Structure 1
């Protein structure tokens, strides 16, 4: 059957309404809500831990719970958007995300909070690929890079404001406020979407839902994320970790084998024959491992080890998030001229330098040094995210815009989960290995095995377990030894992140230079044409 494509919008007197740029404004506010939530939660983690008495593993569940719901449902949500229309899917995602955010703010325990974070992730999965699908179908290929750039700038602005707003909200009202803030932002997103978005229209309405594929992929991703969640506490060699990884591998292989059979597969595997899509996906994973894993622990360095307030932490992160907002529009214009390969490679090199600088942190690192490192990270990551996103989504046929967007988002979310788990494991292992020596150097009795495993959770958050009734000298010695062990873990984790970015830079050289254009072979082979849109 011939797939239905998005019809070109007619010229209307409504200005932004039903126009490509109106679509950009509407979806930006929805995704800005998700971006705001991510950076605010990072700043709020220490406050959540103190308020609810959460351990490091439980705090990781605050992050992993959201990623679990998001990652498991993303690909299916992308297919739903292609099948039933991205506008309809997007609106459901916005409403659900707001309601689950309010429920999180009303939570009175860690378990309740994590459950609603998982639900929030499910609705985020509906929102994100639908938003990118609307963007892909709303702009012609020659303008798509500029659209991604402006879109990234708006998201960068929300990311930049998140740590500052989060710091103020946490310091003034408590951690609950960082979730309540999604209510007004979501209301604006919903109102703009109802006004600006063109009528709902599916890009692949004749396809069928691949139920066996959905089940297999959901089980495989769930098992993978579960293993990443359990590994930091249970251990990478524990039965639950190895068993979950085995299930993820076996079911993942079954999914790939199955996807070769149905006429309407959940993920058309032929998409990955395009090097821009396959390499771009791997780059997104490595970038997310580096970014999310490091961002999780940099807040503990600034607040726990350095003693900064939440507001000060937000200000310290501003050079990174602010630079992302500034650089993204420039990256979009460069993309339209030279394609995604050059800006993506340049961004990865710059990011690797910034991450390497962070791997050299000490307790006396000047604020200026931190700002320079964050500026390099923000500049580089904006190029990477804009370029890799354009490579994946821009190279995909129009009828699979939702699925391609979901692949891009799944790569980011799984990479983020992998980053916090793997870099968290590096942190924990390094602290356990170095803390006894640090105690001995300070003239303190070395902690026992059980005590060491208990203390490492606190030390990994930039804190120290000071014995009750300890003298000021002993307390100072324990704190210094703990901070040195924490820094050793931090340096190793950031060093690994820098290496992954450097490897990604080499891989990016093999991506194709341009994006799919109207009438290209990729579009024609999919049985659809690129949209004819006047911008």
Structure 2
């Protein structure tokens, strides 16, 4: 492919303009359309696969550990590769990285659907995570380079709305496909979406690269950061199983800390670092990354329990539970572009502080959910949560990507996504541990208060593990209905006690994040792009 370079027009800080386009190729809003379609695959995949896991387990005869690896393998690959993938986009161009990501993600999705054993499914899920890592930073890099400063927040707002809609649609689409087609169709659906995205990208996307884009690779930096991220995320994933005080957990956390330290020392002296430490001299960028971690901690960690609450306490099907989360999705879809417009007008600081306060209120409200909570009350708190999350998704993303130099836009996009992955994994693990501890603390007392027969230690442990998910183990045949009702009430009340504590902690974290948001400000956009067509 031939390449022509057009030097960027001179700009002054805060006045960056994207190259003017009169046709389809390189048009900012069409670029957003093409990018959004590719990102839909990754966002949809994040929740749709969870619905298919029981069917995969049954059809392939997989163990529980195998099924967990279908998710964990993907998350590990994604978290480890995101920043490196962003660097690849900065080096070779975000258009190329995005196209490779789309083709690879669609191809591995098809391979998963054709797999005949769970080992093949896990292998291709890991590869799928690597290709997904290419997509997300490249998407943000393309938006950063294509849109003028005054429209970037609106573009990120729409981009965030697409991600929110796709994420929430996952359980509904997945439930329908698994119920009426097959679990393989959950992966095959990515193939036509990917093909359409490739056609649009080839026709629309223009490759933007800064004149001083990196020309070499920091291989030792990649190795150190990959090892650090792997050990950190692995420790977080395994902590609920091993225990937070376990030697294995602390060993991996210690290795992660050592690798991160070595990475920082190496990056400080290498000529072209993987992650330029000078980026973190920007207080707003650093605050944006911390804010993204805290937001994901509360949101992903807290919302993890909501699906169990809806399905196991209220007895809803996966599709029904997905429909009950629509107020959250709808509010994010509507408010994300509005948040982008507001942030463009007044800057990110005030909207981000206000949004985290609203998110904290929503978390505290969700902590009051009970067995008798109706749809209207649930919908209210879900909607308030969506109202709070949308400006954070948009604003924190713009703060991170917008405060990074254009030549590091891909790395900044990878940093934003890595912060979300680490925050979400940490939130799920920590809040899960808090909830489990609470359930095991209150369950014996509630069981005794209900005057239910004392259980042997082995059965009591099994009951506690089931109660962590709001599941009532089947009672022995012939058990009186009154006793079954008492058992159900005790298990559900214990689960709700744990969920309430988890949401309360998530609310406290959101309130602390409002303080972090005080240190944010909009990006300067002071480097104009060179365009490679």
| Corresponding residue of 1:423 | 431
Partner of 2:229: 221
The residue that corresponds to 2:511 in the other structure is 502
Paired residue secondary structure (2:34):
helix
Partner of 1:473: 482
Matched residue of 1:530: which SS? coil
Q: Could you tell me which residue of structure 2 aligns to residue 490 of structure 1?
A: 499
- Rate the CA distance shift 1:453–1:236 in 2: closer, same or farther, 3 A: farther
Distance 1:395 1:20, change over 3 A: same
1:333 to 325, 329, 341: 341
Q: Give 1:52 deviation, angstroms.
A: 6.8
- CA apart distance, 1:11: 5.6
Determine helix, strand or coil for the equivalent of 1:409.
Answer: helix
Please, which of 326, 350, 363 is the counterpart of residue 358 of structure 2? 350
Cα distance change, pair 204–532 in 1 and its aligned pair in 2 (3 A): closer
Q: Distance in 1 between matches of 2:307 and 2:183?
A: 15
- Paired residue secondary structure (2:325): helix
Counterpart-to-counterpart distance in 2, 1:69 and 1:321? 27
- What is the aligned partner in structure 1 of residue 14 from structure 2? none
Among 1, 20, 31, which residue is 1:23 paired with? 31
**Does the 8 Å CA contact 2:114/2:184 hold for their aligned counterparts?**
yes
Q: Which residue of 1 aligns with 2:142?
A: 134
Q: Does 1:386 align with 2:394?
A: yes
Selected match of 1:156 from 164, 174, 179: 164
Distance in 2 between residues matched to 1:368 and 1:316, nearest whole Å: 10
Structure 1 stretch displaced more, 413-422 or 32-41 = 32-41
Work out whether residues 57 and 233 of structure 1, in 8 Å CA contact, stay in contact via their aligned partners in 2: no
Matched residues in 2 for 1:462 and 1:53: separation?
25
Which residue matches 2:528? 530
Match of residue 255, structure 1, among 260, 263, 274: 263
Q: Structure 1 residue 292 and structure 2 residue 300: aligned?
A: yes
Contact 1:42 1:299 in 2 (8 A): no
Task: Report the more deviating stretch, 133-142 or 72-81.
Answer: 133-142
Corresponding pairs, count: 518
Secondary structure of the residue aligned to 1:356 is: helix
2:174 corresponds in structure 1 to: 166
Instruction: Give yes or no for contact 1:146–1:333 (8 Å, CA) kept in 2.
Output: yes
| Aligned mates of 2:490, 2:7 — CA distance in 1 | 62
Task: For 1:104 and 1:482, locate their aligned partners in 2 and report how far apart those are by CA, in whole Å.
Answer: 37
Distance 2:503 2:416 in 1: 24
Question: How far does residue 107 in structure 1 lie from its aligned partner after superposition?
Answer: 5.0
What is the SS of the residue equivalent to 1:244? helix
State the secondary structure of the residue aligned to 1:364.
Answer: coil
1:101–1:180 Cα contact (<8 Å) kept: yes
Residue of structure 2 in register with 1:71 after alignment: 79
> Could you tell me how far apart the structure 1 residues matched to 2:227 and 2:398 are?
29
Partner residue in 2 for 1:525: none
Q: Given the alignment of the two structures, is residue 407 of structure 1 paired with residue 412 of structure 2, yes or no?
A: no
CA offsets 1:131-169 (integer angstroms, 9 cap, x no match): 111111111222211211222233333234333323322
Work out whether 1:279 is the aligned partner of 2:287. yes
Q: 1:478 to 1:319 in 2, by over 3 A?
A: same
CA displacement 1:405-436 (0-9 Å, x = unmatched):
11001000111111221122122222222222
In the alignment, does 2:276 pair up with 1:268? yes
Q: Equivalents in 2 of 1:234, 1:246: separation in Å?
A: 15
1:25-44 aligned within 5 A: 25-44=33-52
CA 1:351/1:11 → structure 2, altered by over 3 Å: closer, same or farther? closer
| Alpha-carbon distance in structure 2 between the residues aligned to 1:127 and 1:213 | 21
The partner residue of 1:372 within 380, 394, 397 is 380
Structure 2: where are the runs of 5+ without partners? 10-17
Note the C-alpha offset of 1:184: 1.9
**Counterparts of 1:373 and 1:109, CA distance in 2:** 42
CA, structure 1 residues 444+215, in 2 after alignment: closer, same or farther (shift >3 Å)?
same
Is the deviation greater in 429-438 or in 221-230?
429-438
1:460 alignment partner in structure 2 = 468
Q: Does the CA contact (< 8 Å) of 1:17 and 1:196 recur in 2?
A: yes
CA gap of 1:355–1:63, structure 2 versus 1, over 3 A, is farther
Q: Does 1:451 align with 2:459?
A: yes
* Contact kept? 2:210, 2:406, Cα under 8 Å: no
Change (3 A) 1:462 1:99: farther
Q: Could you state the TM-score of these two structures normalised by the residue count of structure 1?
A: 0.90
Partner of 1:99: 107
User: 2: distance between equivalents of 1:496 and 1:249?
Assistant: 25
Cα distance in 1, alignment partners of residues 125 and 341 from structure 2: 36
Tell me by how many angstroms 1:232 deviates. 0.6
CA separation of 1:450 and 1:337: change in aligned 2, threshold 3 A = same
Cα pair distance change 1:356/1:37, threshold 3 Å: same
Q: Report the Cα offset of residue 446 of structure 1.
A: 3.7
Shift of 1:5: 8.7
- In the alignment, structure 1 segments of 5+ residues that lack a partner are 519-528
- Give the TM-score normalised by the residue count of structure 2: 0.91
Q: Give the 3 Å change call, closer, same or farther, for CA 178–461 of structure 1 in structure 2.
A: farther
Q: Relative to 1, partners in 2 of residues 1:47 and 1:291: Cα closer, same or farther, differing over 3 Å? A: farther
